[in-house]
Amino acid sequence: MTVFEIPADFRAFLVDVLTKLDAGGDRIDAEDAFQGEVGYGGRVEATPAPGGDLYRFYYITSDGLHKWELVLPERVLRGIVDGMLSDVEGTRHDIVRTARRVLTGDPLLIWGEYADDALNVRNTSALIEALDTLHESAREHPRLFRMWSATDDQVVAVAWRERCALYVVEALDGYATSCGDHTLNESFSVTDHDGRTLDVPLADCIPWDRARNGLLNFIDNGNLGPEVTIEGRIPSLLLMMGDVDRRAALGSRGEPPRKLARSSLPRMMTPVPLVVEEDERTMPVEADSALTSERLAAWARLLLKMLHARELIDLGNTTNLEEITYQLGGLLQAHGLEAEHSIETADWLANEIGAVRGIVKLFATGGDLQIALRRSREVSWS
C-alpha cells in the first residue's frame, strides 16, 4: 500500500458520489456504479461496521500513466469530502506502455454482444467493407463499435449519420479523443452492448471519411494518423475498457467469424421488403401479394411463439424481440412460403433462423419448421 495524496479532481468526484448516495438508489454495487471524468467505482461490501459500507474506486492520473485502486469505508469518503482527510492508503498500478509491442493475434472488430457481431480482420478490404456497413447502419440510430489492433491497441468508435467520434482506450501514446467543431454544444447518446449509456458530444465528432481513415491507420500503427486532431482525454465510461484486452473480450463471446459473410453484418443491412401494391384491375393476383409488412411481422411473432411453446427454440434472456422479429420477417418474406412446400428450403431456412442475432439455438428440424410455418401463417393471417 502507498500513500495517495487526494487531488482536487478526485475530491470533486467523491462529492458527486455522496450526493447520489444520499439521494438513494438501487444500482450502487456495480464496479462502475459511479462514474466521473477522473475515475469510477462502486460498493463492494455492505456492512453494519462503524466505518459503514465499503467502496472501491479507481482513479486515473491526468498523465494516463497510473491508476490508483482505493478501498474506502463510507466514513472515509465523507471525511475526504468534508476536507478532513488529505491522504489515504491505496495501491498504484502503472499503466505500462512500451515501445516494443507484442503481436497477440489478428485485428478484431466488435459491434454487438453475440459471437457473430464481430470479425477477425484478415485483410484491409474486409475491414473497409465492415466499417462502411456499420456506418450505413448508423444513419438512423447511433452505433458503437470497438476495434483492437494486432498488438492490442484499442479504439472505440461511435458513428451517427455522417459523424463519428473516436476514443483511443489503449495505445502506446495513451488515451485520446477526436476533436471536431469545438463550437458545438449538443450531444447524443448511444447504448453499448453491455447496456451502458455513453453521452457523445458533437464536438468530439469528425466527418466519417476522416474517421474511417483514422481507424484504418489505427489498425496498422496504433494511432489515428495525421488526419485526426486529438486531445489526451477520454470519457469516464470508457476508462475501464483498457482492462479488457482482446483475449478477455473473446473469452466471453466465443470465436468470431473470419469472413464478413458469416457475421451479422449482412443480416443487419437486409430490411424487410415492403410490397408495392399494384392495381388489382390490371395486374394478376399472385400468392406473394399477401406478404405485406404487417402480415410478415404478425407471422414472425406467432412463429416465434409457437416454436418457443414447443421448446424448439432457445431465446435465452434476450429482451430484443423486436429486432429478432424484424430479421425473421425478412427471411419469411424471401423464403417462408417456399419452405412450406420444399423440405430442402425448410432445412436451409432452419439454419438461417438459428443464426439470427438474439436466437441462442433453434432445435427445430426442417420438417418441424414446415409445420410451424404453415400453422403460424394460417393463424396470423386469418
Per-residue pLDDT, 282: 34
Q: What does the alpha-carbon distance between residue 346 and residue 339 come to, in Å, rounded to a whole number?
A: 4
Per-residue pLDDT, 252: 66
Does residue 90 contact residue 6 with C-beta atoms inside 8 Å? no
Domain boundaries, the chain: 2-94, 108-267, 270-381
Largest Cα separation within the chain, whole Å, is: 86
Residues of the chain short of pLDDT 50, as ranges, are 271-289
Per-residue pLDDT, 271: 47
Per-residue pLDDT, 316: 81
Q: Give the pTM.
A: 0.59
Per-residue pLDDT, 193: 66
Per-residue pLDDT, 39: 83
